[in-house]
Amino acid sequence: MQTVTLNNGVDMPILGFGVFQIPDDETEKVVIEALEAGYRHLDTAASYGNEEAVGRAIKASGIPREELWVTTKLWVQPSGEDNTKRAFERSLRRLGLDYLDLYLIHQPFGDYYSEWRAMEALHKQGLARAIGVSNFYPDRLVDLIDHNEITPAVNQIETHPFFQRQDYQQQMIELGVQIESWGPFAEGRNNLFTDPTLTTIAAAHNKSVGQVVLRWLTERGVVAIPKSVRPERMAENFDIFDFTLTADEMAQIAALDTGASLFFDHRDPTMVHQLGTRPID
């Protein structure tokens, strides 16, 4: 598996498996199938409600812990570092693990400065090999970096052919932050799987549109965590390392960028309120 090296020297698999919106009662089976397909990088979150199922799948797989990369995320917490530490302990317990490979602040809302200080401490204790953020726009990312000791290793953000984040990726490279894509297929919006540009490129390589999108991301150095509940699609998504896109094909995909989210803007006041005040167990 191809890897990227984070700003603390840790190597992270460039391709993983996400479990967002997979029901808890299906997650264990799906993750076991993903591991059987070859995935060793798993991405979940406290807010997804399926950390325990991911943990059961990891245990059932029998795969040595050191061969896995496991990410989970901290939801918006009440102020105070202790709340973050308790949330981390709950996630670790649900996953049945002794440490995490990557722990992310899920949303840039609430008292994320105290959350980050707590996460710095967890990292120094060896309980999280790397720490990072998710959904941080440039202003908040730079401000967090400027006023804290540890620079986030990763920023997981919406990234797909219709919202490519090229300029932001370059900023993150300069800051030493690895970009990671959530929603690499845009959940099929804008008719992604039948887009003429993508289907033409896919046909030229005897690959699927999904494979072309994931290959496009990896060639840009973007970590991706595609999701599927179908074993054949999991295997297909994993089979992207035997072809390359031409410079012309990369340019054609670049032309699909709309420069705007297909989901929601994390700077929208209504969305900020909804996410920032939504409790989880």
Which three-class secondary structure state does DSSP give residue 3?
Answer: strand
48 is catalytic: yes
Q: Which of 88-92's residues contact partners 24+ apart within 8 Å by CB, and which partners?
A: 88/118, 88/119, 88/122, 88/127, 88/128, 90/46, 91/46, 91/51, 92/127
What are 124's two structure tokens? 């120094």
What are 62's two structure tokens? 């029998």
Check 39, 48, 103, 168 and give the catalytic one.
Answer: 48
Q: How far, in Å, are 108, 167, 249, 258 from residue 139 at the CA level?
A: 11, 14, 32, 21
Cα separation of 187 and 146, whole Å?
34
Cα separation of 16 and 226, whole Å?
7
Cα separation of 113 and 184, whole Å?
28
Residue in 103, 26, 100, 94 with CA at minimum distance from that of residue 55: 94
Residue in 178, 166, 123 with CA at minimum distance from that of residue 148: 123
Give the amino acid at 82.
D
Active site residues: 48
